Amino acid sequence: MRKISFWKQSWPRLLLWSHAIAVAGFYMINWWRTRPRESDRVESLSVAARPLVSDLPLVSIIVPARDEEHNIQRCVESLLGQDYGDFEVIVVNDDSQDRTSEILQTMQRQHPHGNLLRVVEVKELPTGWAGKPHAMHQGALAARGAWLVFSDADTCHAPQALRSAFARAQEEGADLFSMGAEQELPTFWERVLIPIAYMGISMLYPPRQVNDPNNSLAIAAGQFMLIRREVYEHIGGYAAPRLRATVLDDLDLARTVKAQGYRTSFLDGRGLVFVRMYRNFGEIWRGWLKNAYLGNRGGLPFLLAQLVGLFNICIVPFLLPLLLLVRINGLSKRDITRATVLELWGLLSYRLWLNRMLGLPRWQALTHPLGAAVFEGILARSAWLVLSRKGVQWRGRTYHGAEE
């Protein structure tokens, strides 16, 4: 009876402190595993280390574009302004219903380097293909370069981006070289949700493991992927069965390249590539709905663990002070206060570091639980749409995550 009484008195305190240590430990370990070193930034490459223009092979830059009238001019202008010696820009207009085609035609006529721009028009999507892989495939067919760059239409590139990337790819011995872009986050919901997405991706795909040739883990960022053409063709390109219907064109390309024994490298492209992925809450919801479940590791069991974990590590720390309002046998107010301080110290230390990485104000760390709560909905909804075969909607098309 005395032992039973002891455990009745002790388990609330044990549970509280176990949770506090686990939360603080998670954020410290996640920071340790995912923090980029200065040498991981492509921009850290000195100008002197960049190759001379005369030494550079022809590179074909391929941009798939579907209804991108708000983004396409800025993107293409930045690409035409590269200080790289020999390159071409190929925009694949994927049956756009807005002014994308008109803008591209005007740029071909009026831009000082419009002769470097080619436009490939795609009007139909063949059965068994997803839209973006098909557009990228068409762009690769039209390309003449020994190296290919795939870049999203919502990006903007510094003039030295291509030359810096090529130099680092050579230095790393990479067959597929990708750069994570600097995020542009002008609106409230972008600032709330993108840090949560960043935390999740970096946790699932730690850069050091991704860049270890002995580790099978692979990832790339669709904002900038530089690949050796002979490697692209050897794996079958985006016409390969695994790639033609994917909605994760960057992730699955990296997985395929690395699985076939080629070297992949994923580095920090801040200062070189900039991206604004979504412009409002609806776009963020639909965009991550498309990727959240399919881009996860471990399938449904791991996703369920994530749903529980997100609540525990992102929301519960802000709810702990509510325990001060109720009386729990074996749990003192001092325990609750100290556990709360430990959890919030770990969480806010990580978020303040992440905010500096993303260029966000410090106070934005307080939106951490709100962002996590929305992502709980995105993860659950994404899993339901894929597993029920209802499919996810994007740019007027429905995708089920497999070949149709």
* Separation CA 125–CA 134 (nearest Å): 7
- By percentage, how much of the chain surpasses pLDDT 90? 72
For residue 205, pLDDT beyond 80 = yes
Q: Higher-confidence residue: 174 or 50?
A: 174
Task: Render pLDDT for 115-169 as a digit per residue (tens, 0 to 9).
Answer: 999 999 999 999 999 999 999 999 999 999 999 999 999 999 999 999 999 999 9
Confidence of residue 287 (pLDDT cuts 50, 70, 90): confident
What pLDDT shows up at residue 402? 46
Token reading at 213: 């040739």
* Separation CA 234–CA 271 (nearest Å): 32
Confidence of residue 295 (pLDDT cuts 50, 70, 90): confident
- Exposure of 83 in the CB half-sphere (CA atoms within 13 A): 13
* Separation CA 157–CA 177 (nearest Å): 16
Task: Render pLDDT for 224-270 as a digit per residue (tens, 0 to 9).
Answer: 999 999 999 999 999 999 999 998 899 999 999 999 999 999 999 99
What pLDDT shows up at residue 266? 95
Confidence of residue 396 (pLDDT cuts 50, 70, 90): low
Task: Check if the beta carbon of residue 284 is closer than 8 Å to that of residue 370.
Answer: no
Looking at every residue in the chain, the average pLDDT score rounds to 89
Checking 392-397 for CB contacts under 8 A at 24+ apart, the result is 392/247, 392/286, 392/289, 392/290, 393/286, 394/247, 394/286, 394/287, 394/290, 395/66, 395/67, 395/131, 396/67, 397/125, 397/130, 397/131
Buried/exposed 247-272: b ≥16 CB within 10 Å, e otherwise: bbbbbbbbbbbbeeebbbbbbbbbeb
For residue 48, pLDDT beyond 60 = no
Task: Check if the beta carbon of residue 355 is closer than 8 Å to that of residue 338.
Answer: no
Q: Higher-confidence residue: 34 or 173?
A: 173
pTM of the model: 0.89
Where along the chain do its domains lie?
2-34+296-395, 38-181+221-279
- Domain 38-181+221-279 sits in CATH 3.90.550.10: yes
H-helix or E-strand spanning residue 182:
strand 182-183
Q: Mean per-residue pLDDT for 277-302?
A: 82
Token reading at 231: 């490697």
In a 3-state reduction of DSSP, which class is residue 16?
A: helix
What pLDDT shows up at residue 9? 59
Task: Render pLDDT for 77-129 as a digit per residue (tens, 0 to 9).
Answer: 999 999 998 999 999 999 999 999 999 999 999 999 999 999 999 999 999 99
Strands annotated E in 7-106: 59-65, 87-94
- CA 166, distance to chain mean position in Å, is 21
Q: Mean per-residue pLDDT for 366-380?
A: 95
Count of residues in the chain = 404
Task: Render pLDDT for 311-367 as a digit per residue (tens, 0 to 9).
Answer: 999 999 999 999 888 877 778 889 999 999 999 999 999 999 999 999 999 999 999
